[in-house]
Amino acid sequence: MKIDVHCHILPEEWPDLKQRYGYGGWIQLKKNDEAEDGRRTATMMKDDKRFREVDENCWNPEVRIEEMNAKGVTVQVLSTVPVMFSYWAKPFDTLDLCRILNDDLAKTVSKHPDRFVGLGTLPMQAPELAIQEMKRCRHELGFPGVQIGTHVNDWNLDAPELLPFFAAAEEHCCAIFVHPWDMEMGGRMEKYFLPWLVGMTTETTAALCCLMFGGILERFPNLRMCFAHGGGCAPYTIGRIDHGYHARPDLCAQLTTLSPRTQLNRVYCDSLVHDQRALKLLVDVIGQFFANLSRTALSLGRTTRFHSATSMPENSSNQWKSLATT
């Protein structure tokens, strides 16, 4: 069984958000003319600026299922495109958008319950509202988990303001998929696609370090978290991170009694590392908690590309299914 845990989807259409909320900065989907080869695409627009072009599989579940069948993918775990998080906006406006996205995703899952699982999105800049929507996702929409960003505006994930959210997620058995977003785009990062090639993995590594050094994973031992892109750089630099914990406890061991190496064995990672040697190392580091899956790429390629860990040991497979359904 192949389970694609890292798979983004959008509604086919949604309201004009600038008109709905009275200010700009929102993403809209503008359909393009059908190509000569029959391919349908759309452009994600941020106000009047092009953000990204996507193919029909980004909004059409039937097209997606055709591609899943062609690649032998059994189940996709669907989540929104991270730019839709909108943590920068007024909290109740983000909540409204989250409800639009989550309700549409619930309809897609209900039409194809054997092929899709949903992860909700939340207004994380307002933890009380995030908890409210998380409970709705979990108990009304039937989602096993949610997707959140690697930081929330100026908050890292160890921010005291987020503690009630993590407590609620643990209480309600809500799995959390952590995806990088809002990377540094200017200055030294402006060229060579660096925000995606370097910034994303750095974001995920910083988020994981904050959760470990900040004592979040120790404080909430039953919290189930999965990190995108193979956990960023963390599994590959765990020796350095762990050394820092022991060498500088005044900076790294004030809020936790558990070493990073111990804590890393408590989390899940996807397998999207684009290299078999890196994948093997990831399995060696994460061990039995490794999430074996394929993935529908977006930012590193418009067309659907699947990256699967089919050569990994049998006992490392289907871990995300367990994470998402228990």
Angle CA 61–66–71, to nearest 5: 120
Query: Is pLDDT at 300 greater than 70 in this prediction?
Result: no
What pLDDT does residue 320 have? 40
More confident residue, 312 or 233: 233
Q: Are 119 and 148 in contact (CB under 8 A)?
A: no
Q: Give the mean model confidence (pLDDT) for residues 52-76.
A: 94
Residue whose C-alpha is closest to residue 111's, from 78, 81, 85 = 78
Query: Is the CA virtual torsion 104, 300, 145, 63 positive or negative?
Result: positive
List, for residues 103-151, the tens digit of each pLDDT value: 999 999 999 999 999 999 999 999 999 999 999 999 999 999 999 999 9
Spell out a b/e string for 58-69, using b for 16 or more CB atoms within 10 Å of the CB, else e: bbbbeebbebbe
Most confident of 45-49, 162-166, 315-319: 162-166
Q: What is the pTM of this model?
A: 0.90
Three-state DSSP at 31 gives strand
Q: How many CB atoms are located within 10 Å of the residue 192 CB?
A: 9
- Asked which of 28-32, 46-50, 174-178, 282-286 is least confident by mean pLDDT, the reply is 282-286
What pLDDT does residue 69 have? 96
Query: Is pLDDT at 177 greater than 90 in this prediction?
Result: yes
Q: How far is CA 78 from CA 61, 62, 64, 145, 320, in A?
A: 10, 14, 11, 10, 13
Query: Is pLDDT at 318 greater than 60 in this prediction?
Result: no
Residue whose C-alpha is closest to residue 137's, from 171, 98, 170, 108 = 98
What is the pairing mode between strands 3-8 and 75-79?
A: parallel
Torsion of CA 105, 107, 110, 112, to 10 degrees: -70
What pLDDT does residue 33 have? 83
- Asked which of 31-45, 146-160, 277-291, 307-321 is least confident by mean pLDDT, the reply is 307-321
Q: Please state, rounded to an integer, the average pLDDT across all residues of the chain.
A: 89
What pLDDT does residue 298 have? 52
